Amino acid sequence: MAEWWRGAVIYQIYPRSFLDTNADGIGDLAGITRKLDYIAALGVDGVWLSPFYRSPMKDFGYDVSDYLDVDPIFGTLADFDTLLAEAHHRGLKVVIDQVWSHSSNMHPWFVESSGSRDNPKADWYVWADPKPDGTPPNNWLASFGGPAWTWSPLRRQYYLHNFLPEQPDLNYWNPEVREQILNVAKFWLDRGVDGFRLDVINYIVHDQELRDNPPALRAVPPPLATMMQRHVFDRSRPEALDFIRDLRRLMDGYGGRMTVGEIGDEPPLPRQQEYTAPPDRLHTAYSFYLLQGPATPERFAQALSSWADAPGWPSWSLGNHDVARYASRIAREDPSVTRTLMAALLALRGTIFLYQGEELGLPQGEVPFELLRDPYDINSYPAGEGRDGARTPIPWLGEPALAGFSDAALTWLPVDPNHRLLAADRQEGDPASMLNFTRRLIALRQASPALKTGEALLLDAPLGVLAFERRQGDERVICLFELDGRPASVRLPGFAEAEPLFMWHGACRREDRIDLAPFAGALLRIEA
């Protein structure tokens, strides 16, 4: 069966903030179904749904208390089946988040495991005795702050959690745990989903000896204490790949399904490649390489060159629900930069993930401290832009106060009034809007074998310009992006025969060169 995911564009939906159909202020599965025509009109290949499972919502769905059911705030399993069928009817694939590194502390598995040291699930989570002085067994730190260990008065032991104390880590050294997680995968595969996005999948195995992590020896203190360690013993353990092989074997038995891993670790690009090496690992994976750094030509070039000879297949994104929106974070809320970065992303070799609202050019939403919901944001306030500002409701309409997201009196996060100026209905009929700019780029990618799955070759270009060629068969596409805010001219062989596919922000073709205004770009096809 064709590898539909290779070169695909997949649209990430954060269900809480997409569309509310029952006026409770929270988005739901029926809201996603209602907007499938909008998603299909973007030209994307499928959607990735962030968690919609039963959960106490301490981390808004990434703390799962039942992997096999829908949380009532989102609807029912029947609502999910309807969404899946309607998406498939429109030719859209459906990839769902799976949070297998940890569960909620309210999951029946953990409730039983924490009850005693000798119950049937006593070893389903990572438990450890304290040091003689009562402190945690090692120096591991949680990503959301503090030690990665919480004391259980009932068991009189510590349990491991890489995130909140309400998110205890499952013990993948236990074969029963691995088998049960594969049963979860089978449940959703049998239901017809097209793939899984695997949350922090490189966190699933810990060092059995519980050795201390070494220091990272950073010259400048980082924003998070956990970044002061090299995560040698609590992440990316080689034994994690044993489970990946079992999962890949299962996925291959279903045909046409895929896995994309979230791989957050250092070094980001080699780790991404480690988890996607054929034939028995993940189909693709993304790191935070493009999300964390400045959007320079050098950074994009490093992303492309690092994968030039790698056997696996990369995925790329500029944003998701875990980082501030890229229009603010790296484009400095400059619409020209926002557009050209979108174009650069959609021209990359790999599978592309777009986060909801990026097609509208949404900047980071404003959320006052008293309305923050994310525990990470609250704990780190006011250190910087957090995650809630990237999770505010999508503005569908420009006029209503709640932007067409909900008929409730209040929404779970506030609608940013400035986002209403970028509402989908306002952009729909404007040929020059970010929405239609994004649609055009996706359509060009879908129509071009070179842009979709071709190889990528870096080209020499003036300082501040990202230049590369995508090539497949007889088709070559030259991709040029000015990212430094200065005019530039690019001369390359074959320009005289090049057919402009798309040029924007003052790009101008001359007989022997392309002139680029600040933050301009151009895509040109050359037929061999």
Domain 454-527 belongs in CATH node 3.30.1330.40: no
How far is the C-alpha of 20 from the C-alpha of 53, rounded, in Å?
Answer: 17
How far is the C-alpha of 248 from the C-alpha of 490, rounded, in Å?
Answer: 44
How far is the C-alpha of 526 from the C-alpha of 454, rounded, in Å?
Answer: 14
Residue linked to tokens 């040929």: 431
Helix axes 434-447, 335-347, angle to 10 degrees: 20
Same fold yes or no, 9-102+175-442 and 454-527: no
In the chain, what is the straight-line distance between the N-terminal and C-terminal CA atoms, in Å?
A: 29
Q: Phi/psi at 192 (nearest 5 deg)? A: 115, 10
Closest alpha carbon to 287 in 302, 311, 266, 312:
266
**pLDDT values of the chain reduced to their tens digit, one per residue, 528 residues:** 579 999 999 999 999 999 999 999 999 999 999 999 999 999 999 999 999 999 999 999 999 999 999 999 999 999 999 999 999 999 999 999 999 999 999 999 999 999 999 999 999 999 999 999 999 999 999 998 999 999 999 999 999 999 999 999 999 999 999 999 999 999 999 999 999 999 999 999 999 999 999 999 999 988 889 999 999 999 999 999 999 999 999 999 999 999 999 999 999 999 999 999 999 999 999 989 999 889 999 999 999 999 999 999 999 999 999 999 999 999 999 999 999 999 999 999 999 999 999 999 999 999 999 999 998 888 777 766 689 999 999 999 999 999 999 999 999 999 999 999 999 999 999 999 999 999 999 999 999 999 999 999 999 999 999 999 999 999 999 999 999 999 999 998 777 788 999 999 999 998 889 999 999 999 999 986
Question: What would the two tokens of residue 127 be?
Answer: 């438990």
Catalytic residues: 199, 262
How far is the C-alpha of 201 from the C-alpha of 264, rounded, in Å?
Answer: 9
CA angle 83, 51, 13 (to 5 degrees): 60
Beta strands 351-355 and 315-316: pairing type? Answer: parallel
Q: Dump pLDDT digits (tens) for 486-507.
A: 999 999 877 778 899 999 999 9
8 Å CB contact between 467 and 478:
yes
Identify the CATH class of 9-102+175-442.
alpha beta
8 Å CB contact between 274 and 200:
no
How far is the C-alpha of 295 from the C-alpha of 329, rounded, in Å?
Answer: 10
The residues, any chain, with a CB within 8 Å of residue 146's CB and separated by 6 or more, are none
Domain boundaries, the chain: 9-102+175-442, 454-527
